[in-house]
Amino acid sequence: MLIPKTHPKAASLYIREKLVKGYRSGLVIEEGLMAHGRGEAFDYLIGEKTSKNALRALKEAAKLLLLAKSPVISVNGNVASLCPKEIVKLAKVVNAKIEVNLFYASEKRKKTIAGFLKRNGAKQILGVDPRFSRKIPRLDSARRIVDKRGIFSADVVLVPLEDGDRTIALKKLGKKVITFDLNPLSRTAQAADITIVDNVVRGMRILIEMSMKLKKKKLVADKFNNKKNLSQALVEMNNNLRRISYA
C-alpha cells in the first residue's frame, strides 16, 4: 500500500513497512513485530522526536564508542531490518566490529542477517562462524553465544533493542553497555551504562553525526548518570502527557 507523504504518521508508518519487509525476507521474527509495537507506544509518549535527554545520552555514547579499544555493535533482526546502512556507517566511523546476536536464534536467520548487512556495505560480520563461539557465563538465553573476536573480547558493546539479561551479564564481565530503548523502564534501559531513549531509526543517524564531529576533537569521557537521565526521560514523557491532557 502506498503511504501518502502527507499522512500525519507517515514517518512511523514507513518504519513499520521496513519491519514488515524485514519479516517477509526472514530478518525479523513475529516477536520482533510485537517488540516494535511496544516501542511505538513509548515513541508516541516522547512525541516521536529526539528529546534533550536522548541527545545527552547520544553524545556520551559517541564519546564512549570513540574512546573504546574494541567496540562492538550487536545486531538483532529488528535493528538489521530498520537501519542496516546506519549500522555499517557507524561501525566505520567509530571503528567497531559488527556482530549478529539473536534472542530467537537460528543459524539460518543469522546468515540471512549477515548477508543483508554485507549487501549494505559491511565487510565482516561476526557471530556466524561457530568456530569462534564462546559462552557468556550465567546467561541462559541464546544470546549467551557470542564471538570471541567480537562481544566476548569487547570493552564497549552497543546493544540496541535488547533484553535485560544479557546487559546485566555483559556488565558482570566488566563491559560498558550502551543501548537504544524507547522504554526507559525496561530492565535493559535500567541496567545499561548509557541508555538512549529514542527510536533507533532516528537515534542511529544522530549517533553517526555526533561521532563524526567528536572524532576530530580531544575526548574525555564525562561521568554520566544514566539513572538521572532516565528519570528526565520519564519527566519529559509526563510533561508531554500533561500538555496534551490540559489542552
Residues that bind ligand PTJ (CB under 6 A): 29, 31-32, 35-36, 38-39, 42, 76-78, 82, 102-104, 161, 163, 180-183, 186, 199-201
In the complex, least distance from residue 165 CB atom to ligand PTJ, rounded to whole angstroms: 9
Q: Are 178 and 42 in contact (CB under 8 A)?
A: no
**Which of 7/38 has CB closer to ligand PTJ?**
38
In the complex, least distance from residue 193 CB atom to ligand PTJ, rounded to whole angstroms: 17
In the complex, least distance from residue 217 CB atom to ligand PTJ, rounded to whole angstroms: 28
Residue type present at position 107 = E
**Which of 140/246 has CB closer to ligand PTJ?**
140
In the complex, least distance from residue 216 CB atom to ligand PTJ, rounded to whole angstroms: 28
**Which of 134/215 has CB closer to ligand PTJ?**
134
CA distance from start to end of the chain: 34
89: closest CA among 64, 116, 112, 121? 121
**Which of 50/199 has CB closer to ligand PTJ?**
199
Q: C-alpha distances in angstroms, 153 versus 27, 60, 68, 88, 91?
A: 26, 22, 12, 20, 16
Q: Are 86 and 180 in contact (CB under 8 A)?
A: no
In the complex, least distance from residue 227 CB atom to ligand PTJ, rounded to whole angstroms: 17
Residue nearest to ligand PTJ (CB): 39
Cα distance between residue 94 and residue 72, in whole Å: 10
